[in-house]
Structure 1
Amino acid sequence: MAGDSVRDDELAWLDATEQAELVRGGELTPSELAEAAIERIERTNGALNAVVTPLFEKAVAQAASAQLPAGPFRGVPMLLKDMVCHSAGDPLHGGMRVLRDHGWTEPEDSHLAARFRAAGFVFCGKTNMPELATSVTTEPLAHGATRNPWDPSRSPGGSSGGSAAAVAAGMTPVAHGNDMAGSIRVPASCCGLVGLKPTRARTSLGPGHGEYWGPVAHEHVLTRSVRDSAAVLDTIRGMAPGDPYTAPPPSRPYREEIGLDPGALRVGLRTAVPGAAGQPHQDCVAAVDEAARLLESLGHHVEPSAAAVLDSPAILEGFSAVFGTIVAWEVDRWSQRIGRRIDLGELEPMNARTAEVGRSAPATQWLSGLHTWQQWAREAAALWEQELDVLVTPTLATPPWQLGELAPTALAPAELAAAVGEKIAFTVPFNITGQPAISLPLHRNPDGLPIGVQFVAAYGREDVLIRLAAQLEQAAPWSMARPPVSA
């Protein structure tokens, strides 16, 4: 257990940066950090179902090993989302009953997992996620629902919902997530965390993928502090051998942006739901209004922005053309890997229908969808070049919803797909453009539920977001907030 200098209940709420400093200073050992995290997971996971694959024996051995890398996060426990970022010899299910029942394990580390290891992180387990990451709620038939620590009757969001619930509850200070349509930012909003989606190709998807889901996939982590998000990005950014392209390098390490004056930024506000009539839930509008007042008090130039490009039908047109092909490809890829054809009846209903549609789509439809997205992204970029530095929106149009509302069998497949699509209206545009976007836990509604606010900068400008996010964190700290269900 943790050393005498730090009580276990205090350790649960130290961010990864501070935990690493305790190890470097000799106040705690990596083994003590790992053992304390495992105890917290065992104590809390029964109420949340956030961790579906414990890796406790490996974590203890990794923490005690003389070969544990002396990276900036040496000895800090973390969790991996059960998709894309795979670790050698460990199970990977992707929320699929097929892979769970097959007992699939990955033979090697992904480049991202290897970089996490090199930074000194200790892997304590894999977190729950919706099947094939195609939903905004973490309720897979394979592993059951993950519950939100702020209200266990509600969803933690998705698809990185298990990671978000675990970090919010204090199991570990950081957990991996990926974001193809909002899957880091949505659960960050639902669980009161910092969720940064980096610029496209800031991190590697190799060696298994050059692109994943076309151009929309982004890898990073969920954290409780801005400095953790920045410092972790420093350890994982950059091109790996064979990557088809990479984001432009930053001018300085991201951790050095913390505390720097962001200057007086041109900030545009938009609360209207993209592509739809009307406003989001009043709690989400209130969160943006509160953020606007805070930004003005810090000297930024804040004005409403129509950001009319977000209402373009091209977003949905491209999504409709591309998404079915993606799911069909995923099913075929996993069929090949496990050595037998996966029947569509083995999938959850929405994914089965989506894959069926994708299998009948011509290749020209895929290329047409990508072309539509790329053309729209060029139009969207002009907003940052000409009008503003940062766009502020709600992360979600609603507070966290009740578990069961978007469960795999709650609605007919077409209705469920439409309902999921509505939840990602504010997030998915910036997967298409590849711009960095961050959800910050700046508001809680009258029921005490977290409400995230999204900040979007120009392509390649994580530095702007990190400086601004750190300034907001200092002005309106959120680190002392504790959910009712926590370690």
Structure 2
Amino acid sequence: MPASVSPQTASTFTNDALGHDDATALAERIRSRKVSVTELTRAAIDRCQKAEPLVHGIVAERYEQMLKVAAELDKEKNLADAPFFTGLPTFIKDNTDIEGMPTRQGSDAVPAGYPAQQTSGFARQMLAQGFLCLGKSTLPEFGFNASTEPAHDAPSRNPWNLDYSTGASSGGSAALVASGAVPVAHANDGGGSIRIPAACCGLVGLKPTRGRVIDNDAARLLPINILSDGVVTRSVRDTANFIYEAERYFHNPKLPAVGKVAGATDKRLRIGLVIDSINGHKTDDLTRQTVEATARRLEALGHTIEPVPIPVNSTFPDDFALYWALLAFGMKLNGHKLTHPGFDKRRVDNLTHGLDRKFRQGFWRMPAVLWRLRRARFDYASAMKGFDAVLTPVLGHTTPKIGHLSPTLPFETLFERLTRYANFTPLANVTGAPAISLPMAVTPDNLPVSVQLMGRHGDERTLLELAYELEADNPWPLLSSTR
């Protein structure tokens, strides 16, 4: 059967070797020899070639190399003891080094054609689970924007409705997973960049607790590490299995183990509810209705829901904005060291330029800002003592059309729009808490609407158990089921 592709959607789900299965089901089929790794790899390549002209989620591919790896895996006599996700195709985001492939950070300022000399720590942790990296996925410049629309290249488009954004910064990965091209893909999150694209594309996106997985190099250079790596998936069990396998490769002794999370718990929980952002922007009606409906579902399942104030200082939005600006300042100043000696700061986009100016204007506030942002972790932990989780929107409003968050806009316009849109996710980055995005509704424009659950430090288990429960109670729509 041909892939289902319409002028407005980009679904590549069909009756090939990948079928409609999630990553866990595919892994089981590989281990039982019901499908070969080569068959899966060829199916994924075929789907990528169908999806890419529509969604533009790929910046580099290595299909032939992975077909050779697949053929070698198929010669193995026994895959029963192989890593859990052995043979499954995936993509790594193009801000993460893969030996032999360029890393351009989504920016025209980073010269093309210079392969990385080694694979980054987190990528090794992910690929040790058996994934086959078919290539690199798109992101906005340095991951700073909340929509994957690099000024120098075509935008990544939402496979649910191609007129709309995929979110960011892991927008290419989300587009490829949602369209069915691959079952799981790498994402990372410095202000919402796992959860935002997951929310836009109807996927599960877990930002782990700070330190849960191996830090990438950039995280070690920050005065406050706001970065976490993970994946976007189409099912809760895929995310849960990824975390379990990642933890088998590396367990941070400072954190309680997540362990194997295979379903919901019988425990009834106390869950806080937040609907409007601390920055004063009111959440739009469709998003509000989705969060409230989710709260009612959780109550019907026996959990206690209680409205709570956001547990941070009122200066948090401005403080995070200046920290965000610091990152742009640092990139412009040290891009030749952080990316490549040929880095050309004149070629960064309007958002990076504008954030750099913003930092230069307010740099004198940075000592107090850093003190308050470091304090936020303890304020959050204190506020969570009486709660098992907190339910919030992922975003301030539903997914915007392509162009609404374009880096070609005047900086002041774009920055104001970003503060209205990406206003719930940064708290988990600054505090280091785990948070998960779950799709719970679809708009009249055929776009997913998602909610966020935030947890206590180190307690991904509770979030995954709640996610399993919501998924079983009312399975969310997938693009494969709408065609």
TM-score (norm 2): 0.90
* Partner secondary structure for residue 335 of structure 2: helix
* Corresponding residue for residue 162 of structure 1: 172
The change in CA–CA distance for 1:392 and 1:86 in structure 2 (over 3 A counts) is same
* Corresponding residue for residue 431 of structure 1: 429
* Corresponding residue for residue 354 of structure 1: 355
The change in CA–CA distance for 1:332 and 1:446 in structure 2 (over 3 A counts) is same
The change in CA–CA distance for 1:303 and 1:339 in structure 2 (over 3 A counts) is closer
> Does the aligned pair in 1 maintain the 2:190–2:426 contact within 8 Å?
yes
Query: Percent identity of the aligned residues?
Result: 31
> Does the aligned pair in 2 maintain the 1:204–1:238 contact within 8 Å?
no
How far has the Cα of 1:359 moved from its partner? 5.7
Gaps of 5+ in 2: 2-12
The change in CA–CA distance for 1:136 and 1:206 in structure 2 (over 3 A counts) is closer
Separation in 2, partners of 1:213, 1:176 = 25
* Corresponding residue for residue 71 of structure 1: 83
Mapping for residues 87-486 of structure 1, pairs under 5 Å: 87-99=98-110, 101-206=111-216, 209-212=219-222, 214-237=224-247, 247-250=254-257, 253=259, 256-277=260-281, 279-305=282-308, 307-310=309-312, 312-336=313-337, 337-340=339-342, 342-343=344-345, 345-358=346-359, 365-386=365-386, 388-410=387-409, 412-478=410-476, 480-482=478-480
The change in CA–CA distance for 1:211 and 1:198 in structure 2 (over 3 A counts) is farther
> Does the aligned pair in 2 maintain the 1:205–1:212 contact within 8 Å?
no
* Partner secondary structure for residue 441 of structure 2: strand
The change in CA–CA distance for 1:240 and 1:286 in structure 2 (over 3 A counts) is same
How far has the Cα of 1:206 moved from its partner? 4.1
Separation in 1, partners of 2:170, 2:56 = 13
The change in CA–CA distance for 1:460 and 1:373 in structure 2 (over 3 A counts) is same
Mapping for residues 17-32 of structure 1, pairs under 5 Å: 17-32=24-39
How far has the Cα of 1:235 moved from its partner? 2.3
How far has the Cα of 1:357 moved from its partner? 4.4
The change in CA–CA distance for 1:232 and 1:297 in structure 2 (over 3 A counts) is same
* Partner secondary structure for residue 152 of structure 1: strand
Separation in 1, partners of 2:210, 2:381 = 14
> Does the aligned pair in 2 maintain the 1:164–1:191 contact within 8 Å?
yes
Separation in 2, partners of 1:81, 1:247 = 27
Between 1:108-117 and 1:458-467, the stretch displaced more is 108-117
Query: Aligned Cα RMSD in Å?
Result: 2.5
| Cα shift readout 1:215-244 (whole Å, capped 9, x = no counterpart) | 210100000000110111122248969xxx
Q: Does 1:14 align with 2:21?
A: yes
Separation in 1, partners of 2:180, 2:413 = 35
Aligned residue type for 2:94: D
> Does the aligned pair in 2 maintain the 1:180–1:428 contact within 8 Å?
yes
Between 1:158-167 and 1:347-356, the stretch displaced more is 347-356
The change in CA–CA distance for 1:215 and 1:41 in structure 2 (over 3 A counts) is same
Aligned residue type for 1:372: R
How far has the Cα of 1:137 moved from its partner? 0.5
Separation in 1, partners of 2:153, 2:404 = 17
> Does the aligned pair in 1 maintain the 2:179–2:479 contact within 8 Å?
no
Between 1:57-66 and 1:141-150, the stretch displaced more is 57-66
Separation in 2, partners of 1:53, 1:124 = 9
How many residues are treated as equivalent by the alignment? 466
How far has the Cα of 1:437 moved from its partner? 0.6
Separation in 2, partners of 1:209, 1:287 = 34
| Cα shift readout 1:332-373 (whole Å, capped 9, x = no counterpart) | 443135324623x311012023224446765x7544322111
> Does the aligned pair in 2 maintain the 1:200–1:247 contact within 8 Å?
no
How far has the Cα of 1:399 moved from its partner? 1.1
> Does the aligned pair in 1 maintain the 2:88–2:131 contact within 8 Å?
yes
Aligned residue type for 1:222: V
Aligned residue type for 2:236: V
The change in CA–CA distance for 1:155 and 1:246 in structure 2 (over 3 A counts) is farther
The change in CA–CA distance for 1:357 and 1:268 in structure 2 (over 3 A counts) is closer
TM-score (norm 1): 0.89
Aligned residue type for 1:177: A
* Partner secondary structure for residue 205 of structure 2: strand
The change in CA–CA distance for 1:423 and 1:11 in structure 2 (over 3 A counts) is same
Separation in 1, partners of 2:15, 2:254 = 40
How far has the Cα of 1:422 moved from its partner? 2.3
